[in-house]
């Protein structure tokens, strides 16, 4: 789906519709990764004068994060880029390895990278907590796309 013409609310609805219904952690990570990737490309489309040139580029997720981050010099958003890199690492772990210990380690590293900027409600845990964090991370990307100040330390 091309999300370039969606409003901020529609982007959040798009992200939540893809994340909230998922009951499998691996699928949740894959969906969140795809939503984040889509939002990163939308940010590029908004800031680059000739972004259509990139339509045929085949950036890795890591390269895409670095490209968008390079256009966003605010220290306030530094945690977002780290969290996205950790999400990518977790996705790669699901895709290429079978070790539960490594998956748990990567999930914990991802969750730790969002503290204290994302605080799930006290009564959430497990998959529900994980969904909450992923949804808020995607919401932060939607905020960036629409020029809304992001959560984080002062720039």
The reported pLDDT for the residue numbered 15 is 62
43 pLDDT above the threshold of 50:
yes
Q: How far apart are CA 100 and CA 73, in angstroms?
A: 36
Find the mean pLDDT for residues 27-52: 91
- Per-residue pLDDT reduced to its tens digit, 94-153: 888 878 899 999 999 999 999 999 999 888 888 889 989 999 999 899 889 888 876 565
28 pLDDT above the threshold of 70:
yes
- Terminal alpha carbon distance of the chain: 34
53 pLDDT above the threshold of 70:
yes
Q: How far apart are CA 136 and CA 118, in angstroms?
A: 7
Residue 1 contacts by C-beta under 8 Å, 6 or more apart in sequence?
A: 14, 38
7 pLDDT above the threshold of 90:
no
Assign 73 a pLDDT band (cuts: 50, 70, 90).
Answer: confident
Higher pLDDT, 46 or 3: 46
Residues in the chain: 155
What is the overall mean pLDDT for the chain?
85
155 pLDDT above the threshold of 60:
no
Residue 13 contacts by C-beta under 8 Å, 6 or more apart in sequence?
A: none
90 pLDDT above the threshold of 80:
yes
Q: How far apart are CA 6 and CA 14, in angstroms?
A: 9
> Do 47 and 72 touch, CB atoms closer than 8 A?
no
Q: How far apart are CA 77 and CA 24, in angstroms?
A: 29
């Amino acid at each position: 789906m091309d999300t370039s013409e969606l409003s901020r609310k529609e982007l959040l609805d798009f992200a939540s519709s893809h994340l909230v219904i998922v009951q499998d952690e691996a699928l949740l990570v894959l969906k969140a990764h795809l939503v984040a990737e889509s939002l990163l490309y939308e940010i590029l489309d908004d800031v680059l004068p000739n972004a259509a040139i990139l339509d045929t580029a085949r950036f890795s997720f890591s390269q895409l994060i670095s490209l968008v981050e390079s256009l966003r010099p605010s220290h306030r958003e530094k945690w977002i880029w780290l969290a996205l890199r950790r999400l990518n690492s977790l996705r790669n772990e699901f895709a290429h390895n079978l070790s539960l210990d490594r998956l748990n380690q990567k999930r914990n590293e991802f969750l730790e990278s969002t503290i204290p900027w994302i605080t799930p409600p006290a009564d959430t845990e497990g998959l529900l907590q994980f969904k909450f964090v992923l949804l808020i991370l995607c919401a932060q990307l939607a905020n960036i796309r629409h020029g809304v100040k992001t959560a984080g330390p002062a720039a």
